[in-house]
Amino acid sequence: MIKKINLLLLLCFSALMLQAQNVEGYTDMLADTYKYTVKQVQPVELNYLMASGIEEIVILDTREDAECAVGKIKNARCVGYDNFDMASVKDISKDQTIYVYCSIGYRSERIGEILQQSGYERVFNLYGGIFNWANSGYELVDEANNATNTVHGYDKNWSQWLNKDKCIIELGK
């Protein structure tokens, strides 16, 4: 019961954080980007689930290898987008809870749709992607699994959504 109350409080807090992070139209841009075909999860919720160990979860990074190498969510598996293959997730049970993310959530929503069409029922898209995760100050690791605050900004147009006070932006590697 206490865990449920804590989760409810975190959800309310996440809504307030999201409003505070509406940097020059960020949430408006996200609203226009998503098709909302995959359930959304806020960074605060995923961080709580990871820390609490309430359930076993799988995190899939749907960015390309060069992006993942710079900085990713701890324990995330890089599966890519351009050449995504269902063989990369064949070891994951269809009843497993899966969280997908990319830079802002567009590519991960597309991969989430593919997973759902393939019979995965518990798929969630990280709202705002790794940009929102990093802007919220949550833990990132590099390809050697060392803590980092560096995020691949994808390109100059997309990197504008990263909070330069919270993370270092890298555009190529």
Per-residue pLDDT tens digits for 140-150? 999 999 999 99
Q: What is the pLDDT of residue 20?
A: 42
Q: At the fourth CATH level, which superfamily is domain 2-170?
A: Rhodanese-like domain (3.40.250.10)
Write the burial class of residue 2 (CB in 10 Å: 0-12 exposed, 13-18 middle, 19+ buried): exposed
- Cβ(134)–Cβ(169) below 8 Å: no
- What is the C-alpha separation between 39 and 88, in angstroms, rounded? 22
How confident is residue 9, by pLDDT bands cut at 50, 70 and 90? very low
- Cβ(77)–Cβ(61) below 8 Å: yes
Q: What is the pLDDT of residue 27?
A: 85
DSSP string, 13-44: HHHHHHHHT-GGGHHHHHHHH----SEEE-HH
Token couple for 73? 């969510």
- What is the C-alpha separation between 165 and 79, in angstroms, rounded? 29
Residues 132-138: what's their mean pLDDT?
Answer: 94
More confident residue, 2 or 46: 46
Classify each residue of 110-121 as buried b or exposed e, where b means 16 or more C-beta atoms within 10 Å of its C-beta.
bbbbbbbeeebe
- Cβ(109)–Cβ(84) below 8 Å: no
| 119: three-class secondary structure by DSSP | coil
Structure confidence by residue, pLDDT tens digits, 20-72: 444 668 888 898 899 999 999 999 999 999 999 888 999 999 999 999 999 99
Helices (H) and strands (E) in the chain, counts: 7, 9
Structure confidence by residue, pLDDT tens digits, 84-126: 999 999 999 999 999 999 999 999 999 999 999 999 999 999 9
